[in-house]
Structure 1
Amino acid sequence: MSNFLSYEQDGHVVTLTMSEPERRNPLTGNTAVPEFLAAIERIESDTSVRAVIITGSGTAFSSGGNIHEMKRQASGTASAMDVRRDYRHGIQRLPLALFNLEVPVIAAVNGPALGAGLDLTCMCDIRIASRAAQFAESFVKLGIIPGDGGAWLLPRIIGMSRAAELTFTGKAIDAQTALEWNLVSQVVEPEALLPTAREIAAAIAANPPHAVRLAKRLLREGMHTSLGTLLELSAVYQAVSHQAADHKEAVEAFLDKRKPVFKG
């Protein structure tokens, strides 16, 4: 498909692998963002896809921003408005696209996830980590701020105090600390990372796809809306779900004491 991102589909599960290990899979200064956007558009248009895994090749998940690109931005050759435009039309498109993707996304964090790399994991629905993983909201170490939505995402996942600690210090935490802080839901041995991610993806894909997609949308909307609004939206989604063929199949299979067959 591309130079940076490998797209592989096995049944109902797509695995996206960042494949620039010699540079630790940076998200800027290359084609990472347009390739992610193209992959997301492809997934959105393919109703056979029911779950997505994002991981990195090599020893790192993602090093975040490309330091050479930062040097260019700091050189004065680009105006502040040019840099703003680069962000708005570049990496800032990624959190919006992943946030609005209805298919559940699992981050399989194989190594360090730094800066925008950490924020990429926060754009996903589920995060599991290898024991080799590290996490750092490291922007401040380079005199910049989270420019890709991390200041919105991270506090909603680990709470404001811990998000502030990571953001203001730029320090790295290991996988076990990430588990204790609810940044990840599982920590596994490196060799078990992708098998575990695939097991979770298979469990998701085994359910009626319309129910999974609508449930994800409710979880996302719940991050920034009122209870009353969410309940109204839930009523609409539930009405749609009750009319779906897979709901009828689930009820009949339960009553017949057999395994359901969901067609989507």
Structure 2
Amino acid sequence: MRHGKKDNHLSRTHSHREAMLQNMASSLILHKRIETTLAKAKELRKFVEPILTRAKDDTYQNRRVVFQSLNDKETMKELFGTVADKIASRPGGYTRIIKLGNRLGDNAETCLIELVDFNELLLSAVAEKAATTTKTRRSRRGSGTKSADATSAPVATSTEAPVDEASVAAAPAAGDDLTLIEGIGPKIAELLNNGGITTFTQLADAQDETVQQVLSEAGSSFNVHDATSWNEQAALARDGKLDELKELQDRLKGGKEEQ
């Protein structure tokens, strides 16, 4: 019985499983992201993250221990060089798993596992958003009490800037939930938002080439998604025709209409 044993054997012997995890860890370190099944990615994360933690402290003992796990000189060179410099300030959580859906054939759950510090697209998007977004904090102290001095009220209101009703009316509405569109998951919705497509109206008016360019810049794994029906679905969602949208999505599979 397997009481208390939480490791997934992956239907392999011990030696086969260890060799597979070694090869996958080497590929992840060398290429920074790999596509695999969700079960293998979860086991790989438990295997590789302690190795990445040791790599941050470049000592002879740590190199010996890591080499026992990886057994590849080129991987060791990349790990204790480029990778160690990137993850030096990160206290953990070096990898990210992005689900890609089920693959044809065996219907296995597939995903993309990557080193979070090497996803330049997301890092640049976060940096750009932080640079352009300004946050202000206003004190709420005493907001619920009135001043004893009756003359203080006109002085406080006189310093406030007048409210421009036209600018309030022209302010952009909050972004729509693009995951309602068949074929768009949370990750793709985030990529579209970073690309400037945040509402159903913008998606309905966007050219297919623009959407495919956003997906292509995110990597080859996202470029396989079929976005030909996204405009039509977004137009129905924009107009509030949810029943027609549901009927259309019943005929779709992965964003593409079945033959």
TM-score by length of 2: 0.28
TM-score by length of 1: 0.27
Structure with greater strand percent:
1
Q: Which has the higher contact order (CA 8 A, sep 6+)?
A: 1
